[in-house]
A and B are shown apart, each in its own frame.
Chain A
Amino acid sequence: MSAPRTVIVAAFVAVASLGLAGCGENQQVTVYKQGKYQGKPDTKPWDSPEYGGDQAKWERAIETRTQGQNEYVRIGG
């Protein structure tokens, strides 16, 4: 096979593959699944830099804060 012919065949293959790729029909709209959260995932509060994934430490901090609202515990009663 001569060199110019090889180039023509290669160009044809490239154009054909590009053209066929354009025929692909990708989903471009959001598909809603009834009753299922569709948004972005969220992280857990204990995954924050302050707690570094230590759930027990976070729960202790929240418990302390919650009991801070109880003046019978905070200042005695």
Chain B
Amino acid sequence: MARMKFLCDAERCIECNGCVTACKNTNDVPWGVNRRRVVTVNDGVIGAEKSISVACMHCSDAPCMAVCPVDCFYRTEEGVVLHDKDLCIGCGYCFYACPFGAPQFPQAGAFGLRGKMDKCTFCAGGPEKDNSEAEFKKYGENRLAMGKLPACAEMCSTKALLGGDGDVISEIYRQRVLKRGRASDALWGWSTAYGAPPKQGATK
């Protein structure tokens, strides 16, 4: 059985925010809620700027599930972490626990009242009848039930953002890195990710 995961290739992401737009449009995400966003480091620094698209990573051992006081989270057979909005009390514990800032809370009232948690569903809906009005209203589109992958990954113009079975997308990424053919970091691009190796004879 597949373990659904996202993988973002920072070498390819061009910060177009196409993934963010695709997510917003597909799931009719309310104003002020960002299920997905693009994070850029070294913005404007030529040659050093890197962007990465971030959302819920559907962790195998999800901290949000561990801290939820009402246990409204569940993991599907495909490894997608979802939650029941009818049970959520909007306490915000999951937001503090999540290392990616994935849980979002819509403003539910005039005085900044926190609504029920909303997050990326890997376009897998939630505990309602597949692609029913109730499911769309609460969780967005259930593309997995249609045999499709998340809209963000499928809409990515440079295919920087990959979504699907973790083993399959890791293999796609591995092929890419091999094709790029960097001399010093032939396999996984470690020097790209963690900085260039120190020069010969350089002092620390």
Mark A residues whose CB is within 8 Å of B. Answer: 30, 32-51, 58-59, 61-63, 65-72, 77
Q: A34-B71, A37-B73, A39-B87 are known contacts. Are A65 and B147 too (CB-CB below 8 A)?
A: yes
| B contact residues, total (Cβ < 8 Å) | 43
Per-position binary interface string of chain B over residues 68-89, scored 1 when its CB falls under 8 Å from any chain A CB and 0 otherwise: 0111111011100011101100
- For this complex, 15 residue pairs linking A to B, each with C-beta atoms less than 8 Å apart, are A30-B87, A32-B71, A37-B72, A38-B70, A38-B72, A38-B87, A40-B86, A43-B129, A43-B130, A50-B147, A62-B164, A63-B165, A67-B168, A69-B159, A72-B175
Q: How far is the CB of B147 from chain A (nearest CB, A)?
A: 3
Q: How far apart sit A17 and B131, CA to CA, in the bound complex (Å)?
A: 46
Q: How far apart sit A70 and B72, CA to CA, in the bound complex (Å)?
A: 35
Instruction: List 5 tightest A-B contacts by C-beta distance, closest first.
Output: A39-B84, A66-B164, A61-B147, A48-B145, A40-B127
Residues of B within 8 A of A63 (CB): 165, 168
Judge whether B145 and A45 touch: CB under 8 Å. Answer: yes
Judge whether B179 and A59 touch: CB under 8 Å. Answer: no
Per-position binary interface string of chain B over residues 146-157, scored 1 when its CB falls under 8 Å from any chain A CB and 0 otherwise: 111100011000
Q: How far is the CB of A27 from chain B (nearest CB, A)?
A: 16
Residues of A within 8 A of B142 (CB): 45, 48
Contact of B126 among A30, A37, A42 (CB under 8 A): A42
Q: How far apart sit A48 and B146, CA to CA, in the bound complex (Å)?
A: 7
Contact of A62 among B73, B77, B128, B165 (CB under 8 A): B165
B124 at the interface (CB under 8 A from A): yes
Mark B residues whose CB is within 8 Å of A. Answer: 2, 69-74, 76-78, 82-84, 86-87, 124-131, 142, 144-149, 153-154, 159, 162-165, 168-169, 172, 175-176, 179
Q: Name the CB-closest residue of B to A46.
A: B145
Add 11 more A-B contacts to A32-B69, A35-B71, A45-B124 (CB < 8 A).
A39-B86, A40-B127, A40-B128, A42-B76, A43-B129, A43-B130, A44-B77, A45-B147, A47-B145, A48-B145, A72-B175
Residues of B within 8 A of A69 (CB): 149, 153-154, 159, 162-164, 169, 172
Q: Name the CB-closest residue of A to B173.
A: A70
Residues of B within 8 A of A61 (CB): 147-148
Contact of A45 among B78, B162, B172 (CB under 8 A): B78
Q: How far apart sit A34 and B172, CA to CA, in the bound complex (Å)?
A: 39
Q: A45-B78, A62-B2, A63-B165 are known contacts. Are A32 and B70 too (CB-CB below 8 A)?
A: yes
Judge whether B179 and A72 touch: CB under 8 Å. Answer: yes
